Structure 1
Amino acid sequence: MARRPCLDCDQPTEGTRCEPCRLARGRQRERARQRPTARQRGYTTEHEANRAAVLAASRICWLCGHDGADQADDVVPKSKGGTAKASNLRPAHGTNPCPTCGVRCNQARGNADATPPPLSR
């Protein structure tokens, strides 16, 4: 069989993915199967409506100050008693990294306290 580049890392492989990438994808799939749904984690229709309103008002990330935010970050995380109210949501980079600094600000912050930490650039 001809060797071709892995779909994930471009290393030569016999199949579509090299062994390390194949194992990593399996771990990702298992994590996704075990993770509760968004509704189970508390993201209700109220949250979705408030998220849309927050992102319509501004796309400036409250963590890094750059344009292009695509998620609404909980100022007080749900795991620490935060609510789905619009006053608890701020725009942040998440699904797509910031085009300026390359950070997924919402994921980098995690469930830290409300004061945004300095992010490594």
Structure 2
Amino acid sequence: MARWQGRKGRPWRRVIAQLKATNRTCWLCGHAIDVDLPVTHPLSFTADHIAPRSRGGAPTLDNVRPAHRRCNSQRGAKVDFRPPLRTSRPW
């Protein structure tokens, strides 16, 4: 059996494909994610680990949620991160 390769290889690509197919809403801000944007765009799709990899989180579908690149970067490796409250109108 092959050794787990982390965030590269077929197992990770399967997790990302399942995540894109099931949910396209950022779990941090609640807005829709456009999966067709280039990877470097701030509102592009990324997989955010609930328990960060640096703190022992596994790269499985149970530990991954969809997020915008900007939202994922703001959260960083914080475990107790609370997303900002959504307001009733844009400010």
For normalisation by structure 1, the TM-score amounts to 0.52
Which structure has the bigger radius of gyration? 1
Q: How far apart are the structure 2 equivalents of 1:85 and 1:44? A: 12
Identity of paired residues, percent? 38
The equivalences for 1:1-121 within 5 A come to 42-45=6-9, 46-68=11-33, 70-94=45-69, 104-113=70-79, 115-119=80-84
For structure 1, list consecutive stretches of 5 or more residues without a partner in the other structure: 1-38, 95-103
**Could you say which residue in structure 2 is the equivalent of 1:8?**
none
For structure 2, list consecutive stretches of 5 or more residues without a partner in the other structure: 35-44, 86-90
Q: How many residues align?
A: 71
Kindly indicate whether structure 1 or structure 2 has the higher relative contact order, using CA contacts under 8 Å at least 6 residues apart. Answer: 2
Q: How far apart are the structure 2 equivalents of 1:112 and 1:51? A: 22
Q: How far apart are the structure 2 equivalents of 1:48 and 1:109? A: 23
1 or 2, which has the higher helix percentage?
1
- C-alpha RMSD over aligned residues: 2.2
For normalisation by structure 2, the TM-score amounts to 0.67
